[in-house]
Structure 1
Amino acid sequence: MITEDTGKTISRRGFLGAAAAFSIMAKHTALGSEANSKVRAGIVGLGGRGRMIAGMAQNHGGYQITAVADYFPDIAQGVGEWLSVSPENRFSGLHGYLRLLESGVDAMFLETPPFCFPEHAKASVEKGCHVFMAKPVACDVPGTMTVLEAGRKAGANGRVFLVDFQTRTDPFFIEGIRRLHRGDIGRVGMLSSIYTDESFPDPPLTDTIESRLRHLIWVNDDDLGGGYLVNAGIHAIDVALWMAGDTPVSAMGSSRIVRNDPHGDSHDVYSLTYQFKDGLILNHRGEHLKNEHGFKCECIAFGQTGYLEAGYSSHVRLHGGVEPYEGGQVVDLYPQGAIRNIETFHESIVNGVYDNPTLEPSINANLAVILGREAAAKKTSMTWDELMRENRKIEVDTTGLAL
């Protein structure tokens, strides 16, 4: 796990306490105005998820979206008009986010392709903004560590930094994993996670990466989106790490490209085995092919006396053990988890809650999937320490892009 001394254990995620414990003074400090003032927010990245998040923030009632930015001018103008953002605060180009920061916002919602996140998060924190960002937080180890540093700086400076994983907001996931950690199914011997879905469009490459920046095409590219394991498989592996309460010490496995007519370099079929220091094993499988299998994201913990199953779009249930837990059906987690995170982000800002509990788990999940990607691509075993020492940076060629 990541700590101030990289490689040592961090504390587990805690959940936000009651807002009532904080004083009116904290509310004034958080917003620099009256407690009931709206948080002035900027949205960077206005694709499908960016528009969804923007709409949710607008409907929340506690935010005023005052600026937007997207690489493509037509998108920035269209979404800006939809959100009633002043024309002078609709920014475009690769550096549009910098101009947005100069417009004067309290908070930044970052929803671009992941290769942008380290730079955007760092600049946002340096400008004194609260940060809400999507996952994965970066495509490589150096970028991940930049986000970690930015998140820690945000907390130290009295700013909120939230990474938008949905499963960690779900009541059934929370209770099921609480019971697992309590020991209800005995010692866990193995975790098994899976993430499957169809692949995204992967057209021929062009002279610049501009053509890869729309319609989730960038998920096919390790440099732009981290690839399928880092961008999508992270959901299942994050739950596995939450169950394990630790990070793996090594990963081994194999991966390949199977989708039709590929042009990006991301592998789309994965089989991985992670090892933990206490001997725990995590097996992960993933595939992204248009083969009618469809979406599946789940993790099962196999204990000595029972097992816990947790699915992103199915159910959470604990079988056997000290006391079976029926849990329940997980419904609409993709939007509902985001709505809960947007609410938590606002409450944290207004009430001056700067513990930022999503930071370290999100960093650890990011590094774990990068470890899996690198080990599988080389078809070898790789340790966490080796990954960190290698510290490989994936360069992005932005030649020819509009600034």
Structure 2
Amino acid sequence: MTDKSNYSRRRFLTSAAAVGAVGVIGANALVSCAEKQKAVELNLPPLLDQAPDGKPIKAGVIGCGGRGSGAALDFLNAGPNLVIHALGDVFQDRIDDCRKKLKDQANHEVPDENIFLGFDAFEKVIDSGVDLVILATPPHFRPQHFEAAVQARKHVFMEKPVAVDPVGIRSVMATAKKAESLDLKIVTGTQRRHQRDYIEVYKQVANGAIGEIVSANCYWNQSKLWHRNPNADWSEMEYMIRDWVNWLWLSGDHIVEQHIHNIDVINWFSGKHPTKAVAFGSRQRRVTGDQFDNFSVDFTYDDKMHTHSMCRQINGCVNNVSEFVMGTKGSSNCKNTIWDATGAELYKYPYPLDENGQPERNVKISPYVQEHIDLVTCIRQNISVNEAEQTAITNLCAIMGRTSAYTGKEVTYEELMNSDVKLGPDTYIMGDVGIVPNAKVPVPGEAAE
């Protein structure tokens, strides 16, 4: 029996779902030899409640804001002998907040000598003796940080999106290939692919429960996120980074930064990605930055399948965060329910019961923790996993929708794969860089005579 298997992410989730409930074990239980053999035959580990024990894995966090702090805690909760060894950020208060959360919520301390500040902090974290890096800065910096981590032969958890422009996407794809050649383990923050209800529904759809998928819809419509007003004590660069979700070069706009999740589910379930997009959007309420606050995209796939993709961040509007696929024999919301062609329910995911015997609203293990369980399991059992390229593909699809909305033109995937568009400054200084004074919100179409 071998401990190592090489598999695609698609096979990873199909097989994990196929293991299903019989593959889920208690946090301190051991996986039987029969279960291990089944997992190897399927080219996947079982879907565990906790990663197996092993020698300590030391992680460094690059980007200590809310998502970086959350990912650090999720990593510590994934299994035994896991350590947050180093922290890096451009802001001391972000580092201080992260250290406090680790201490208060996990009784975990990071020593002073492993705290690094500045735009070069990522290099110091990577060189501090870590085995794994968690990349959670604003997405603009992800390609550079990912390349440096892989160059240093570190395993990686990186948040989505993995880039904000075509040049960054191609960089991530190239680095993903190098990581694969080095057998490094790479998991990205598309956590729905690690969420047990989604996985179970995906398995059944992949096995033909709704026939061939012919159309789809996906949405992330919600209230406004947040913004930061300029501060006289901040430089232009500090202001933009603290307000990063509102600036194109830092976040990619919310269709890329957030709606990527929903687009990724459709790509995952259909097993392909769109080849072109026609979109529109606008800026109605956003008060800082240079982005839109709503998008509507018609994605066309190679076989003429269409997906309607919609996202919005405006207060006081109807909200909807969901996905839907229509097949020749039925349909599904991708998360927990499958219907036949007449609308009759064929399947409902069996959520755990609460103390009153009623189904819980959430899966047993948070997908934010599950993705770290999966990563640590792959490291400790020497099983190959590399999600970077698949996430980069979906990322580019979101950029395709954004570009079409900004320009009013039909945009193809091939065009963007060959594009030399690169967003943001060439050098990083905590000073004035000339972006804010020249920022313009895109206006699609041609100006009237």
The bucket for the TM-score relative to the shorter chain is: 0.7 to 0.9
Matched residue, 2:340: 320
Tell me how far apart the structure 2 counterparts of residues 152 and 335 of structure 1 sit (CA, whole Å): 31
Matched residue, 1:307: 331
Q: Is the 8 A contact 2:119 2:428 kept in 1?
A: no
Q: Is the 8 A contact 1:255 1:270 kept in 2?
A: yes
Residues 2-81 of structure 1 mapped to structure 2, 5 A cutoff: 13-15=10-12, 20=36, 36-59=54-77, 60-80=79-99
Q: Structure 1 residue 289: deviation in Å?
A: 0.7
Q: Structure 1 residue 334: deviation in Å?
A: 12
- Seen in structure 2, the aligned counterparts of structure 1 residues 399 and 134 have a Cα distance that, compared at 3 Å, is closer
Q: Percentage identity across aligned positions?
A: 27
- Seen in structure 2, the aligned counterparts of structure 1 residues 317 and 381 have a Cα distance that, compared at 3 Å, is same
Aligned with residue 410 of structure 2, among 381, 384, 389: 381
- What one-letter code is carried by the residue in structure 2 that aligns with 1:324? L
- What one-letter code is carried by the residue in structure 1 that aligns with 2:337? R
Matched residue, 2:219: 194
Aligned with residue 352 of structure 1, among 382, 388, 405: 382
Tell me how far apart the structure 2 counterparts of residues 168 and 319 of structure 1 sit (CA, whole Å): 21
Residues 211-290 of structure 1 mapped to structure 2, 5 A cutoff: 211-214=239-242, 217-260=243-286, 262-290=287-315
- Seen in structure 2, the aligned counterparts of structure 1 residues 399 and 67 have a Cα distance that, compared at 3 Å, is closer
Tell me how far apart the structure 1 counterparts of residues 202 and 140 of structure 2 sit (CA, whole Å): 32
Matched residue, 2:28: none
Residues 14-163 of structure 1 mapped to structure 2, 5 A cutoff: 14-15=11-12, 20=36, 36-59=54-77, 60-80=79-99, 82=103, 83-163=108-188
Tell me how far apart the structure 1 counterparts of residues 348 and 64 of structure 2 sit (CA, whole Å): 39
Q: Structure 1 residue 153: deviation in Å?
A: 1.2
**Which consecutive residues of structure 1, in runs of 5 or more, have no partner in the other structure?**
1-9, 24-34
Q: Is the 8 A contact 2:296 2:309 kept in 1?
A: yes
Tell me how far apart the structure 2 counterparts of residues 74 and 300 of structure 1 sit (CA, whole Å): 41
What SS does the corresponding residue of 1:310 show, helix, strand or coil? coil
Matched residue, 2:237: 209
What SS does the corresponding residue of 1:185 show, helix, strand or coil? coil
What SS does the corresponding residue of 1:103 show, helix, strand or coil? coil
Tell me how far apart the structure 2 counterparts of residues 68 and 383 of structure 1 sit (CA, whole Å): 39
Matched residue, 1:393: 422
Aligned with residue 165 of structure 1, among 190, 194, 200: 190
Tell me how far apart the structure 2 counterparts of residues 375 and 334 of structure 1 sit (CA, whole Å): 39
**Which consecutive residues of structure 2, in runs of 5 or more, have no partner in the other structure?**
1-6, 17-30, 41-52, 352-359, 432-449
Q: Is the 8 A contact 2:187 2:385 kept in 1?
A: no
Tell me how far apart the structure 2 counterparts of residues 218 and 98 of structure 1 sit (CA, whole Å): 22
Q: Is the 8 A contact 1:270 1:286 kept in 2?
A: yes
Q: Is the 8 A contact 1:110 1:131 kept in 2?
A: yes
Aligned Cα root-mean-square deviation (Å): 2.6
- What one-letter code is carried by the residue in structure 2 that aligns with 1:13? R
Q: Is the 8 A contact 1:235 1:297 kept in 2?
A: no
Tell me how far apart the structure 1 counterparts of residues 179 and 310 of structure 2 sit (CA, whole Å): 35
Q: Structure 1 residue 399: deviation in Å?
A: 5.0
Tell me how far apart the structure 2 counterparts of residues 334 and 219 of structure 1 sit (CA, whole Å): 31
Deviation sequence 1:58-92 (CA, Å, 0-9, x none): 23323111111111123324534634111011111
Q: Is the 8 A contact 1:302 1:308 kept in 2?
A: yes
Q: Structure 1 residue 203: deviation in Å?
A: 4.0
Tell me how far apart the structure 2 counterparts of residues 273 and 75 of structure 1 sit (CA, whole Å): 39
Tell me how far apart the structure 1 counterparts of residues 64 and 361 of structure 2 sit (CA, whole Å): 25
Q: Is the 8 A contact 1:77 1:87 kept in 2?
A: no
Q: Structure 1 residue 393: deviation in Å?
A: 1.1
Tell me how far apart the structure 2 counterparts of residues 364 and 122 of structure 1 sit (CA, whole Å): 17
Q: Is the 8 A contact 1:72 1:92 kept in 2?
A: yes
CA radius of gyration, larger in:
2
What SS does the corresponding residue of 1:279 show, helix, strand or coil? coil
Q: Is the 8 A contact 1:38 1:63 kept in 2?
A: yes
Q: Structure 1 residue 328: deviation in Å?
A: 4.9
Q: Is the 8 A contact 1:271 1:284 kept in 2?
A: yes
Matched residue, 1:339: 369
Tell me how far apart the structure 2 counterparts of residues 280 and 66 of structure 1 sit (CA, whole Å): 47
Q: Structure 1 residue 178: deviation in Å?
A: 2.5
Q: Is the 8 A contact 1:193 1:299 kept in 2?
A: yes
Runs of 4+ in 1 over 6 A off after TM superposition: 16-19
Q: Is the 8 A contact 1:89 1:103 kept in 2?
A: yes
Deviation sequence 1:20-69 (CA, Å, 0-9, x none): 4699xxxxxxxxxxx82110111111111211111222233231111111
- What one-letter code is carried by the residue in structure 1 that aligns with 2:149? S
Q: Name the stretch that deviates more: 181-190 or 384-393.
A: 181-190
Tell me how far apart the structure 2 counterparts of residues 220 and 235 of structure 1 sit (CA, whole Å): 18
Q: Is the 8 A contact 1:209 1:398 kept in 2?
A: no
Tell me how far apart the structure 1 counterparts of residues 364 and 207 of structure 2 sit (CA, whole Å): 28
What SS does the corresponding residue of 2:406 show, helix, strand or coil? helix
What SS does the corresponding residue of 1:324 show, helix, strand or coil? strand
Q: Structure 1 residue 199: deviation in Å?
A: 2.2
Q: With the length of structure 2 as denominator, give the TM-score of the two structures.
A: 0.77
